[in-house]
Structures are given as C-alpha cells and as structure tokens.
Amino acid sequence: DQQVKQNSPSLSVQEGRISILNCDYTNSMFDYFLWYKKYPAEGPTFLISISSIKDKNEDGRFTVFLNKSAKHLSLHIVPSQPGDSAVYFCAASGWDSNYQLIWGAGTKLIIKP
Amino acid sequence: EAQVTQNPRYLITVTGKKLTVTCSQNMNHEYMSWYRQDPGLGLRQIYYSMNVEVTDKGDVPEGYKVSRKEKRNFPLILESPSPNQTSLYFCASSLRGQNNQPQHFGDGTRLSIL
C-alpha cells in the first residue's frame, strides 16, 4: 500500500499560468516532505522542502503548502515556464520510516507555450 | 564539480550473470543510498548506508547486496540477476543521513535482465 500518492500521472499547463501539483500521504508520523524534479535521462534534483511544523514554504516561483489535517501537500509554480516541464516527485519521511524517504509515483508536468 | 557518478549507464545482460553497478560521490558525504524506479511506483529504496561499514536494508533489498568500504563508493551487486530486477536504478548521497538534508542523485543506470 503506497504511503505517498500522487494521483495525477500528468498535468498540462499553459506557460505563464500557475501549476499545482498534489500529493497525499497516509502516515501521520511523517514530519518532513520534499519535492524533487526530474528531467529525462537525469537523476532527480531537489526543489523545495517543508517541515511538519510549518504550513507553507516559499522559494522564488515555487511554494509548497502542507495541510496536516488532510494529509495533503501541494507544490505551486508561478508563473510556469517551459523549463519547468519535467516529472515531479513528492517524498516524505518520519521516525517510523527510520527517516528514509518514501516516494510518490511522480507527476509529469507539461508546460505548453 | 560536485557529483554522483554511476556506471554503467545502460546494461543488457542475462539471468544469473553477476553484475555490479558502481556509484561514487566526490562531496565527502556520509550518507549514500540506492533506489530503483519502476513505472507507477516511484522510487523505492534498496539499501542505504549512514557511513563507512554501516549498511541497512531499504524497502526492496531482496536479490541485492551492497558494501561501503570507503566513504566515496557504494557499489550495488546483483549476484544472480533475474528479469524482475529489470529497472532504472539511482544512487544518491547526502552530507548526513538526516531527512532534512536533500539527496544528490546520479543520472541513473538502466538495467535489462533477459
């Protein structure tokens, strides 16, 4: 049973608009969440993270929101640019995963010009 | 340039023929990890190492071995590969094995076991 779920395999967004990628988790013991971005033929690269003591973290065009009661986090990209086209992975960790990362299946974001 | 290097990048081999995928990092990181990525499943951890001579099983360790004799290298060994180990493999490292430290990834190794 997947503890971290990204229910949208793909998402298409117009350039300049907002991209919203969603991630749900089932384990209430998770206390740290990360987003990674992956281009084809490359490894994932770290994008942004959030601790469970916060509900929002912002870094330039990227903002992550955490709703602990709903066990839901989202990544907002504003404005979306062609270089943002990639696969985005959500990952979570906590004491009962021995602080190892549990990953979602990924969402492929396509930015249309 | 700070990087995690995996070799080979691609390999097609046959069932039962032992193989090793090497991983090396030049950042003096203590923590290293191996993942496999399969369609619809995201990344699943195979083994990880908190430091030299310290290794632990991840979620899917069956059929794999690792060693950490020196800080920079963390090879993944498939003693008797089987077709269900056909996958895309990633090695990663971070300064410490703490969840708030982002991991740096290699570019992946695509293994096909016939």
Q: Which of B33, B43, B48 sits opposite A89 (nearest CB)?
A: B43
CA gap A71, B24 in Å, rounded: 36
CA gap A81, A17 in Å, rounded: 9
- Min Cα–Cα distance to chain B from A17, Å: 27
pLDDT per residue rounded down to tens, chain B (114 residues): 889 999 999 999 999 999 999 999 999 999 999 999 998 888 999 999 999 999 999 999 999 999 999 999 999 999 999 999 999 999 999 998 777 789 999 999 999 999
CB B70 within 8 A of CB B52: yes
**Partners of B23 in the β-ladder:** B6
* A106 interface with B at CB cutoff 8 Å: yes
Q: Nearest residue of B to residue A31 by CA position? A: B99
Test B108 with A42 for CB contact under 8 angstroms: yes
Q: Nearest residue of B to residue A102 by CA position? A: B44
Contacts of A32 in chain B (CB under 8 A): 99-100
Residue-wise pLDDT tens digits, B48-74: 999 999 999 999 999 999 999 999 999
Mean pLDDT estimate for chain B = 95
